[in-house]
Amino acid sequence: MERTPLEASRVDPADWHLLLGALRCRFEAGSFADAAAFVAAVGRLADDHGRHPDVDLRARHVRLALRSPAGGVTDRDVRLAERISTLAADHGLTPHPALLQAVELALDTPAPGTVGPFWAAVLTGETERDTAVDVVDPLPELPPLGFDRLWFQPTDSTAPDRQRFHLDVTVPPEEADRRVAAAVDAGGRVVDDSHAPAFVVLADPDGNRVCICTELGRD
């Protein structure tokens, strides 16, 4: 019997991080053939385990995402992640968790119920929609091939020049401080860090905002 979805602080495999409800990893390979052979081995292992990760196979790296069919990550997914990491080491692949990230879009709007159906139709082809819930990639693909989610953030502002969209970039916790520092070094500024480590709001030199997020501090 599966346990309930795990919190980020209870995910142990060093190669993997819990980002946006999925356990994710990235492994570097010496060649496309090495990467493909590893993916084939993961497929056999996943069939035996009864859980199938999303796989993004590139010329010299592989990204995987594990999640429960019911949503979230369980102990069963963690056990499979550990076995995949062992398999990667056996195939000579190197973990590179610092390059992991998951990107969401957020639309600041005073009328989520009005704009939600439009964005659902534009992004997914969905035509029947009564409430402004999150729009989720139906495939679902891993960035940068697709989007993770479009969610709607209520705002009281109706100013025509307000910022409408911002990016939420979710990274492993140990990468968040480096990402914020790099943004500041590049001319940005910290707008609000009172919600860290859940998220830090940054602004670019032109005032456009972005959030660097982790899965910590959201409980």
- Domain range 102-213, its CATH number among 3.40.630.10, 3.90.1150.10, 3.10.180.10, 3.40.50.1370: 3.10.180.10
- Overall pTM surpassing 0.85 (yes/no): no
Give the pLDDT confidence score for residue 144 in this predicted structure: 46
Tell me the pLDDT tens digit for each residue of 43-80. Answer: 999 999 888 999 999 999 999 999 888 878 888 898 89
Question: Which residues neighbour 43 within 8 Å (Cβ) at sequence distance 6 or greater?
Answer: none
**Residue 180 scores a pLDDT above 50:** yes
Average of per-residue pLDDT across 190-208:
92
- Domain range 8-99, its CATH number among 3.30.1360.20, 3.40.50.720, 3.40.50.970, 1.10.443.10: 3.30.1360.20
CA distances from 74 to 3, 15, 24, 68, 138 (A): 6, 17, 13, 7, 22
